[in-house]
Amino acid sequence: MNESLNNKNSFTSYEYKDINIRRGMERLYADGYPSFGWTLDATEPSLSLTNICFKFKRNRRIQNKAELTRLQQEFEGKAHEIEKLEESKAIAPSVIAYGLGIVGAAFTAGSILAFLSHSTVLCIILAIPALIGWIVPYFAFNKVKQNKEEKMAPIIDRQYDAIYEVCEQANRLLAS
């Protein structure tokens, strides 16, 4: 009978938080949020194919809640910066590849028009840069993306280090 009384007095009220997370960032949030007192309750697919929904819960009466919330917001800001940096790695290579592809398409159109006007020599002259304009973008994209990734890697690593420091601070607050 004493055990049933103890169970009734150990009621815990929870607060809940749903977060839409970009795929590829799941582990960061799954590892980081427990530092702020949250436990992963469930995962669900999001409406967007690029996101996943994490459902967290934590005790409403957690100690140092205000400071944990501040550190959690700092964590989320740095995680958002990492997402933006990761996205930016593909922007410049894409612009270059699309630009080269458009130039290749223009030469293809010129080659077709030359063919339709029965100018075979001009058709062949325009077809060569057209083919190059369709092949080169793939290699240009990969090369520029590789260079961009090399430049961004130290910046992203610093952001991860800052996130880990925030999680360590929050974890120390939870332990106290």
Structure tokens at 75: 């964590």
Say what the pLDDT of residue 9 is. Answer: 63
How many angstroms separate the CA atoms of 63 and 173, rounded? 8
| Block residue for tokens 């007192």 | 37
**pLDDT tens string for the chain (176 positions)?**
444 445 556 788 889 999 989 888 989 999 999 999 999 988 888 788 888 999 999 988 888 888 999 999 999 999 999 999 998 898 999 999 999 999 999 999 999 999 999 999 999 999 999 999 999 999 999 999 999 999 999 999 999 999 999 999 999 988 87
Residue-level pLDDT at 10: 76
Query: How does DSSP classify residue 54?
Result: E
Could you give the 3-state DSSP secondary structure of residue 6? helix
| pLDDT on residue 47 | 80
pLDDT at residue 3 in the model:
45
What count of other Cβ atoms lies within 10 Å of the Cβ of residue 68? Answer: 21
Q: What is the pLDDT of residue 4?
A: 45
Element spanning 156, H or E? helix 120-175
The length of the chain is: 176
In three-state form (DSSP H/G/I as H, E/B as E, the rest C), the secondary structure along 13-47 is CEEEEEEEEECCCHHHHHHHHHHHCCEEEEEEECC
**What per-residue confidence (pLDDT) applies to 49?**
84
Residue 64's contacts (CB-CB under 8 Å, 6 or more residues apart) are: 173, 174, 176
